[in-house]
Chain A
Amino acid sequence: MILLETIAEPVAATGMFTWAWTMIAVPAVVAGLLLVAGKLSDAWGHLLATAAVFWSFAIAVCLFAEQLLAPATERAVSANLYTWFTVGQWDFQVGLLVDQLSILFAMLITGVGGLIHVYSIGYMSHDPRRRRFFAYLNLFIAAMLLLVLADNYLVLFVGWEGVGLASYLLISFWQHRPAAAAAGTKAFVMNRVGDLGMLMAISTMLAMFGSSKFTEVNAGAAGTEPMWATLIGLFLLLGACGKSAQVPLQAWLLDAMEGPTPVSALIHAATMVTAGVYLVVRSHALFEAAPIAQLAVVIVATVTLLAGAWIGTSQDDIKKVLAGSTMSQIGYMMLAAGIGPAGYAFAIFHLITHGFFKANMFLGAGSVMHGMNDDVNMRHYGGLSKAMKVTFLTFAMGYLAIIGFPFFSGYFSKDHIIEAAFADNTFIGICALIGAGITAFYMTRLMLMTFFGEERWLPGVHPHESPKVMTIPLIVLAVFSVGIGAVMNFWIQTWLEPALGIHAHELSLVPTPVGWMTMAVVALGVVAAWLVFGRSSIPVVAPATNNPVTLAGRNVLFGDQVNDFLFVTPAVALASAVDTTDAKGIDTAVDGLGRAFLGLSTQLRRLQTGYARSYALTMVVGVLLVGAVLILNLVG
C-alpha cells in the first residue's frame, strides 16, 4: 500500500514527552484522593480537581508546542511505560502514543474539560455532593486521556471502560431521582453491547496480528484477508455505535441528559461520545482494507445524522434537543470517517469544532436552567435574550457555528464533510445536505423558543444572569466556537497527514457549488423555522398532534419501543422460561432424588434393630450363604 509508506513510525519519548503519563496520572490520583478523603476535602476538593485538569492541559499544550517545532516525521512519539502482563506468545505493554491525532484530542479534552470544571464550581455550588462530582469528573478526564493516548487497543479499552464507568456515575449522579438512576443504568447496559464488539475486535486482532498495538495492526491490515478485516471493522463499528450513540445503539443518549448539565456538555457532547469517531479514524488502515465495513460506517452515520436531526426538531426539553443535535453531528463525523482518506481530517476537524460549540451551547443551556429554577422545558422560556445577555450572546455564537453561518467554525468543518460526501456518493451527499437544513431548522427553533418571543415563564420564576464563574467559560468557548474553524481550516489536513496517511486537498475560501447549495439549504431551514415558530406565539403545552413525523420525533423515533420489542421482551420471556425450567424441572428432579433416597433409607433403617440376637442371625445367615456358594462351586 502506497498510503502506508507515508505514515511515520513513532520515535521514542525524550524530554517533555516523558512527562506525558502525568496527564493521566494526576487527575486519576486526585479523583482517588477526593473519594477517599471524604468530607475532609469538601472545602477545597473542587479547586484541586480543577487544578489537576489544568495541569494536564498545560502538559498537553507543551507537548503540542514541541511537536509543532519538531520536523513532521518526528512528531509522533511513543513512550513505553511498563509491561502489563505476558500470556503465551502475547506480550502486553502499557504504552502511550502522543501523535498528531492524539494530541489534538488531549488538548480538546483537557481544555474544554478545564473550562467545564470551572463552570461546574458555580453550577454545582449548592449541591452537597459537589466534591464527589468533581472526583467523578477527574476520573472521567483520566480515563478519556488514557483512551486517546494509549498506543494499543487493549489499553484503549481500559480507558474506554473507564469513561463508561464515569459516564454511568455522572448520569446517575442525582441518584435520588428514579429517572436519573434508570438513565445511568440504561447507558451502562447499552454501552456493554458496544463493548462486546470492542472485545471481539481486540480478540480477533490478537489472533490475526499477534498484537493489539496500533502500529502493528495498521501495518498488518493491508495484508490481511478481506473477510477478517471486514469482521474486525464491523466489530469496531459496533463498539463505536455504543459509545457514540449511533443507530441502532442510540437510545441511551437522550436519557443521559438526566445528568447534571456540565456532564452533558463534557461527556455527552464534547468528548466521550466522539470516542467512536476516534476509534474509526485510528483504525483507518483496517477500514481501508474492508470496503464493506466502510460502507456500513457510512450507512450508520447517514441514518444517525438524519435520525438525530429529526429528534431535535420535535423535543421540547432544551437538553434533549441538543442531545439529538449531538447524535446528528457525530453522524457527520462518522460519515467523514467512513468515506475514507478524503474524510479523516474533516472528521477530526468537525469533532474539534463541535466539541467547542456544543459544549458552549450545553453550558449555555445549563446557564438558562440555572436562571429558570432548573426548568428544561423550552415552552416555559421565551424572551430570555433580555434577561441573560451574556448567555444569549455566547449561545448565539454556538448557534451560528453549528448551522454553518459563513466563517464561523461549523461553516468550515461541516461544509467539507458535505463536499466529501458528495464526492463519494451523490445520495449520501444529499442526505448530508438535508441534515444540514434540518440542523438549521431545529437550532433556529431552539433559539426562537428560548431567547425570543413573549415571556412564557412559570409563576415565581425570575430569570437572572449566572455568576461570572459560569459566564467566563461560556465566553471562552464562544470565542473558540467563532474562531477555531478559520484557524484550523488550512492547517488540519497537513498536520494530520503523517499520522493518518492522507493527502491534503486544496481548499479555498470561495465556496464551491456544493458550498453555495449548503448555504441555501441552511437559509431555507432558518426561514422555515422562523415562519413556524417566529411569527406566531408558542403554546405553553405541547399541542396534541396526529402527525406521525412529529409523534415519532417526540418519542425519540420509538427507539425504546423497538428495543423493548426486539430485545427486552424476548429476553424477559427467555428469563422467565429459564426460571420456570429451574423451578419446575430441575428443582423437582433434584428434590425428587433426595426424597427417593430419604424413603429408601427410612426402609433400610428398620434393619438396625439394636438387638444383638438379630445381628447374630444375620451373620449366621450370611455365613450359611457363603458356605452354600462354596459348596455349590465345589460340587459344580
Chain B
Amino acid sequence: MMNPENYLILAAILFVIGALGVMLRRNALIAFLCVELMLNACNLAFVAGSHITGTLDGQTTAFFVMVVAAAEVVVGLAIIVSIYKTRRSTSVDDANLLKL
C-alpha cells in the first residue's frame, strides 16, 4: 500500500497546474478544462482524506463536487459557445466588457 499522503501531494500538484492554467491561458476552453482539473484535484484530495480518516464524508463530498462540475460544464460550455458565435473567438481577453 502506498503512502496515502502521496495522493494528497498529487492533488496539490494537479490543483496548482489547474490554477496556473486558469490564470495564464487565454483560450476559454483550456481555462475551462483547467477549472475541471482543479475540481477533480479537490475530488482526489477528498477521497484520499476519506481513506486516511476511514470515514465516508470525503467520498460523499466528491459526489457533490461531480454534480456541481456537471452543472458547471453545462452552463459554462453554453456561455463559451455563445461568445464564440458572436465574436468568432474563444479568447477570454476578448470578452472584457465587464469593466468601467
Contacts and interface: CB of A to CB of B under 8 A. Distances in A.
Interface stretch (B18-26, B42-50, B51-59, B64-72): B18-26
For this complex, into which size category does the number of interface residues on chain A fall?
Answer: 10 to 19
Interface string A613-631: 1001100100000000000
Contacts of B100: 605, 608
A611 interface: yes
Contacts of A617: 23
Interface string A599-611: 0000001001111
Interface in A430-485: none
Contact of B92 (A605, A608, A613): A613
A611 B96 contact: yes
A623 to B, nearest CB: 9
Contacts of B24: 613
A598 to B, nearest CB: 13
A314 B15 CA distance: 107
Nearest to B92: A612
A625 to B, nearest CB: 15
A605 B92 CA distance: 20
Contacts of B95: 612
B62 interface: no
B23 A611 contact: no
A609 B96 contact: yes
Contacts of A616: 19, 22-23
Interface residues of B, number: 14
A49 to B, nearest CB: 70
Nearest to B21: A616
A605 to B, nearest CB: 5
A617 B92 CA distance: 14
Interface of B is mostly: loop
Given A613-B92, A613-B93, A608 B23 contact: no
Contacts, number: 29
Nearest to B16: A620
A612 B98 CA distance: 9
A610 B98 contact: yes
A609 B96 CA distance: 8
B2 interface: no
A613 B27 CA distance: 11
B1 interface: no
A620 B98 contact: no
A605 B95 CA distance: 18
A227 to B, nearest CB: 69
Contacts of A613: 22-24, 26, 92-93
Nearest to B98: A610
Contacts of A611: 92-93, 96
Given A613-B26, A613-B93, A616-B23, A608 B99 contact: yes
Given A612-B92, A613-B92, A620 B23 contact: yes
Nearest to A607: B99
A611 B97 CA distance: 9
B6 to A, nearest CB: 21
Contacts of B11: none
Interface string B13-42: 000000100111010000100000000000
Contacts of A609: 96, 99
Contacts of B23: 613, 616-617, 620
Contacts of B92: 611-613
- Which of A609, A611, A612, A620 has the most chain B CB within a 10 Å cutoff? A612
Nearest to B95: A612
Nearest to A604: B100
A605 B100 CA distance: 7
A126 B18 CA distance: 100
B61 to A, nearest CB: 18
Contacts of A605: 100
Contacts of A620: 19, 23
B45 to A, nearest CB: 14
Nearest to B19: A620
A388 to B, nearest CB: 87
Contacts of B19: 616, 620
A620 B31 CA distance: 14
B98 to A, nearest CB: 5
A93 to B, nearest CB: 66
B22 A610 contact: no
Nearest to A624: B19
Contacts of B99: 608-610
Contacts of B98: 608, 610
A571 to B, nearest CB: 50
A608 B31 CA distance: 20
B33 to A, nearest CB: 14
Contacts of A610: 96-99
A617 B97 CA distance: 18
A605 B31 CA distance: 26
B25 to A, nearest CB: 8
Interface in A171-230: none
A542 B97 CA distance: 87
A617 B22 CA distance: 9
B97 to A, nearest CB: 6
Nearest to A608: B99
A612 B83 CA distance: 14
A202 B19 CA distance: 81
A606 to B, nearest CB: 9
Nearest to B26: A613
Nearest to A609: B99
Contacts of B31: 612
A597 to B, nearest CB: 15
A581 B70 CA distance: 66
A616 B98 CA distance: 14
Nearest to A613: B23
Contacts of B26: 613
Interface of A: 605, 608-613, 616-617, 620
19 contacts: A605-B100, A608-B98, A608-B99, A608-B100, A609-B96, A609-B99, A610-B96, A610-B97, A610-B98, A610-B99, A611-B93, A612-B31, A612-B93, A613-B23, A613-B24, A613-B93, A616-B19, A616-B22, A617-B23
Which 3 A/B pairs are nearest by Cβ-Cβ distance? A610-B99, A610-B96, A608-B99
Given A610-B98, A616-B22, 16 more contacts: A605-B100, A608-B98, A608-B99, A610-B96, A611-B96, A612-B31, A612-B93, A612-B95, A613-B22, A613-B24, A613-B26, A613-B92, A613-B93, A616-B23, A620-B19, A620-B23
